[in-house]
Amino acid sequence: MNPLTFVGLGFLVGFLVGLTGVGGGALMTPSLIFLGVEPLTAVGTDLLYATVTRVFGVFFHGRKGRIRYDIALRLLAGSVPAIVLGGIILREIDRNALNDYLTLLLGTILVVSAVLSLLKGEFRVPVRPRWAYIYLLGFIVGLTVQFTSVGAGVIVSFTLMNVARLDPKEVVGVTITYGLALSALSFLNYAGMGSVDYHLAGALTLGTLPGVYMGTHVNRNAEGEKLKRAMNVIILLIGLLTLFGG
């Protein structure tokens, strides 16, 4: 496969991550598998790529002061036990079987939630928001990411935007910051199993910096409501791709 193909893929996914904070794992892992990369290696390589991509995203968004570190740290605290549990499961149970069911569940949740949000404008739940739910959300997302590399952006961004009512531009900063820590820790599980292609990750990263920069620039000039709707459309598309991919 021509290395330029992977450079272009890195640019495209980097742009979407910089613009919305979502789409990294949901687009990258299926694309790598489609291009012939072994699934386990695709997940591990994507986690390394996602880590590098989000370093740039955190830098660009941090300069604009749009990162809620209090929320990101609570999400991470909930994810740490999930990462430990996921590492044990990866070594003890057939990951391919788990991946099939988790991908199906994730895709269904994304499609339903995005459709409701697009039809009603907002998605309300009959539960009073509490900080404890942030920790629980971190645990669920952390466990899901261990097996599919998908979830940090799409689930967290939807929940914070439509349930916690966080400003869409703040959602992007929180999602990228939390996603950076989560992907870095999750990558260590796959690196320990030798399931990471470092040369491939390098090619993907070459396209990342300009992609994330351009996406972040567009995000800065976007109107809040239009960005919110665009993010929900992307979440819907990712959900459909995840379902078909699963």
What is the pLDDT, as a whole number, of residue 245?
Answer: 63
- This prediction's pTM: 0.75
How far apart are the C-alpha atoms of 40 and 209, rounded to whole Å? 25
What single-letter amino acid sits at 172? V
How far apart are the C-alpha atoms of 227 and 231, rounded to whole Å? 6
Would you call 1 helix, strand, or coil by DSSP? coil
- Say if CB 160 and CB 71 are below 8 A apart: yes
Most confident of 118-132, 153-167, 190-204: 190-204
How confident is residue 6, by pLDDT bands cut at 50, 70 and 90? very high
Q: What are the pLDDT digits (tens) for 185-194?
A: 999 989 998 8
Q: What are the pLDDT digits (tens) for 178-215?
A: 989 999 999 998 999 888 999 999 999 999 888 888 88
> Would you kindly state where each structural domain of the chain is located, as residue ranges?
3-245
What is the pLDDT, as a whole number, of residue 54?
Answer: 81
Q: Which residues of 2-38 are buried (b: 16+ CB within 10 A; e: fewer)?
A: eeeebbbbbbbbbbbbbbbbbbbbbbbbbbbbeeebe
Phi, psi dihedrals of residue 37, rounded to the nearest 5°: -80, 135
